[in-house]
Amino acid sequence: MREVQLSLNNSQKRRLQRAYEKLEALSVKVNSDAAVTVADDIPVNSEDAIPKGHGTADMNGRLVATQCGVVERINKLVFVRPLRARYKPEIGEIIVGRVVEVTPKRWKVEINSSLDAVLMLSSMNLPDGIQARSRRRTAIDELNMRYLFQENDVICAEVRGFQHDGGLHLQARSQKYGKLKRGQLVTVSPYQVRRKQQFHFLKQFGIDLILGCNGFIWIGEHVEVKDGSNEDHPSNNTPSQQTAVDEAAEEETNIPLETRESICRIANAVRVLSALDFMISLEVILEIVDLSLSLNVGIHDMLGAEFYVLVAEKEAERRQKLSTKRR
């Protein structure tokens, strides 16, 4: 647990300390060999052929950690996931990024990593429907790139692979990827995001939640996935230009007040989890939102010291119940 920088009174400091002590005790009981430091032994079955993953080494028949972090196991593969590190992409992961530069045939995207991310025009699903997958990109498509994405636009994409020079390739060949608008982007540490399911539709709020594996989390108004076909809307514009026209018309319609409040409330729930150094998942976010609603806590007051302490106490109580059920 990292130290939370909040203006707490003495009572709140004691309550928060007790909650952290309870959480740390539960963590030791539930998963005593999860956290390791350099040279710690990692328990494995010596009879099995254990593939040695990142952050591990074989020393005299023992598997030891070569970095601080948490032991992860995928089938027989054992590796150590470092804490508080820059995002290290893996192929197939869903990320949220921000466009920082538009260059010929590609967009450069900031993804909270030491690697540069590039979204090629050829890896982008163009707005002219199914034919975009099979047809070649033309000079007209290249000229119209800014109608699709421009600097500071927030996008969602998938990690496609790595370049020979160490760069990162993205792809957005599905309708669920692309430009994100009418919402908020919240940045957390990448290790806090669970890599299970990244796309969530919160029907009760009319909100789309995307938990980017790179620590960029998007909370925005729900958008229905369209097939991208323009056959029913004939126009003299190119598909990219028509998309820009449609987006401009959409921006003129205001987001309902209730939806905006829900976006802000969910975003503040994520900020609280990030500040308290808790893992971020859909279930925990919804629990914090429900807690704020049940206590009639205002959206702005969710970032107050008292609510941080309440969340920590609630999380300790939740993990205590889970620990009791496992016994």
Residue 164 sits in which domain range?
86-180
- Please tell me the predicted confidence (pLDDT) of residue 58: 82
Buried-state track 231-259, b at ≥16 Cβ within 10 A, e below 16: eeeeeeebbbebbbebeeeeeeeebeeeb
Statement to judge: residues 171 and 189 lie in one domain: no
In a domain, 279, yes or no: yes
The CATH number of residue 153's host domain is 2.40.50.140
Written as one letter, the residue type at 146 is R
Contact predicate 146/79, CB 8 Å:
no
Which of the listed residues 180, 212, 234 is the one where a domain comes to its end? 180
Question: What contacts 173, CB < 8 A, 6 or more positions away?
Answer: 123, 124, 125, 133
- pLDDT tens track of the chain, all 327 residues? 444 567 888 998 899 889 888 887 776 554 445 677 777 788 777 656 667 787 888 887 788 888 777 787 777 788 887 766 778 888 899 999 999 999 998 999 999 888 779 999 888 877 655 444 556 778 888 888 898 999 999 999 999 998 776 678 999 888 889 999 999 999 998 888 887 889 999 999 999 999 999 999 999 999 887 654 444 444 555 555 555 555 555 565 788 999 999 999 999 999 999 998 888 999 999 999 999 999 999 999 999 999 999 999 998 888 888 777 766
Is position 321 within any domain? Answer: yes
Are 160 and 298 members of one domain?
Answer: no
Q: Do 113 and 101 share a structural domain?
A: yes
Give DSSP secondary structure letters for 274-315: HHHT--B-HHHHHHHHHHHHHTT--TGGGGSHHHHHHHHHHH
Cβ–Cβ contacts within 10 Å for residue 151, how many?
A: 12
Same domain membership, residue 129 and residue 24? no
Q: Find out whether 266 and 289 touch, Cβ atoms under 8 Å.
A: yes
DSSP annotation of 130: T
213 and 320 in a single domain? The answer is: yes
Asked if residue 211 and residue 144 are part of one domain, the reply reads no
Tell me the residue type at 135: R
Residue 209, in any domain of the structure: yes
Instruction: Mark whether 11 and 146 lie in a shared domain.
Output: no
Same domain for 187 and 161: no
Residues 15 and 150 reside in one and the same domain: no
Q: How many domains are there within the chain?
A: 2
On whether the CB atoms of residues 214 and 97 are closer than 8 A, the answer is: yes
Tell me the C-alpha distance between 257 and 212, whole Å: 26
The CA radius of gyration of the chain, in Å to the nearest whole number, is 23
